[in-house]
Amino acid sequence: MAQTAQRPREYGIRFGVLPTGPLNAITDVPGVRVGQVTLSEGQNIRTGVTAILPHDGNQFQQKSPAAIYIGNGFGKLMGFSQVDELGTLETPIVLTNTLSVPTAADALIDYTLAQPGNEQVRSVNPIVGETNDGSLNDIRGRHITKHHVLDAIQQAKAGPVTEGNVGAGTGTVCFGFKGGIGTASRKLPASLGGYTVGALVQTNFGGVLQIAGVPVGVELGRYSFKEKLDGSCMMVVLTDAPLDARNLKRLAKRAFMGLAQTGGIASNGSGDYVIAVSTAYRIPHETANPFDELKIVRNDNVSPLFMAAIEATEEAIINSLFAAQTSVGDQGRTVEQLPINKVIDLLKKAGQIR
């Protein structure tokens, strides 16, 4: 059900100043894989699962440095406290709907315990993010099963990432229009380290939509306080820059600024979270060495990465809107896709497209 329309850049829209990676996707970060399962069945099932795997090894035995930033905590993200305490990620990241978080966590535990080398594992910290897709999906039916989650993990691959009404974005609504999954990336020049920063978002939130600085939501007459637009946004930011958990938390905070660039307001009913992970090195679960010997980017050199996270997150959110299609779901509710032709006209009038 993903829209096959052009991405914003193909219309001439630009976000920021940094170049993108080859795919303009989170999978531009080497080793990163994404898998998605979409459930669009009958009149009322509009939901799914999106899985992000930072590397192709045993994630529990070879943990990734990680951090989570809470922009607004009206959400049910699972696994926060251990990541916040220890600064490591030990399972793939799974995104789904609010009431399927326990099912997804159970599946991640099954997946982890079944990995060769994990025969003695007695504790698992599954990371599951969510947004509430109850506007279009029969969320009370809890149609996501462990099989769906495991399937998303198992089919994860590198390369292009499908956007729009897919995976965990199948039933989402953003700025009053159909939301979904979006992704983007930035590649720093060699003089700034040559690192890649990639973002993947699950958009289901409100505010006053801005695209390239143009108040599109106002011009289209659809925005918070004029209409009831609430919800959440999950943001996942991966980079091959060698950052520790402290600077990954700082990176995550900047990704939230990317959401703000699109007009998101982190409303009272919004669960807005950023999960930031570095793929540059792995932290062994067990080792005879009592010290971690790491070479990490200094504070003075992280600003370009901050800008990359802001730009990639902003563009990923807008990409989700451009890719999403009109959807009819639970109780016959219809959510229209972003009127792209009108948006392009508005951007041309504002001088943002020449």
For residues 90 and 282, the answer to whether their CB atoms sit within 8 Å is no
Q: What is the pLDDT of residue 1?
A: 40
Q: Which residue bears the tokens 């973002």?
A: 199
Q: Which of 232, 267, 278, 320 is catalytic?
A: 232
Mean pLDDT of 107-122: 98
Q: Is 232 a catalytic residue?
A: yes
Residue percentage of the chain with pLDDT more than 90: 94
| pLDDT for res 41 | 96
Contact criterion met (CB below 8 Å) for 237 and 251: yes
Of 160, 164, 202, 184, the closest CA to residue 309 belongs to 184
Beta strands in the chain (DSSP E): 33-41, 45-53, 62-73, 88-89, 93-97, 127-131, 173-174, 177-178, 181-187, 196-204, 232-239, 271-278, 283-284, 327-328, 334-335
For residue 223, what pLDDT band results from cuts at 50, 70 and 90? confident
Return the pLDDT at 49: 99
What domains, with CATH codes, occur in the chain?
16-31+58-89+159-286+294-347 (3.60.70.12)
CB 308, CB 197: distance < 8 Å: yes
* Nearest partner of 260 among 205, 316, 216, 314, judged by Cα: 314
Q: Which of 270, 278, 320, 327 is catalytic?
A: 270
Q: What is the dihedral of CA 101, 107, 110, 115, to 10 degrees?
A: -110
Which pLDDT score is estimated for 3?
43
* 81 in catalytic set: no
**What does the pLDDT read at residue 105?**
98
User: d(Cα 133, Cα 149) in Å, to the nearest integer?
Assistant: 17
Instruction: Say whether 327 is catalytic.
Output: no
Residue 4 has pLDDT above 60, yes or no: no
- 270-325 pLDDT, tens per residue? 999 999 999 999 999 999 999 988 999 999 999 999 999 999 999 999 999 999 99
Q: Taking residues 12-31, what's their average pLDDT?
A: 97
From the list 28, 133, 138, 272, the catalytic residue is 272
Q: Which residue has the tokens 């850049």?
A: 9
Measured CA to CA, the distance from residue 296 to residue 209 in angstroms comes to 37
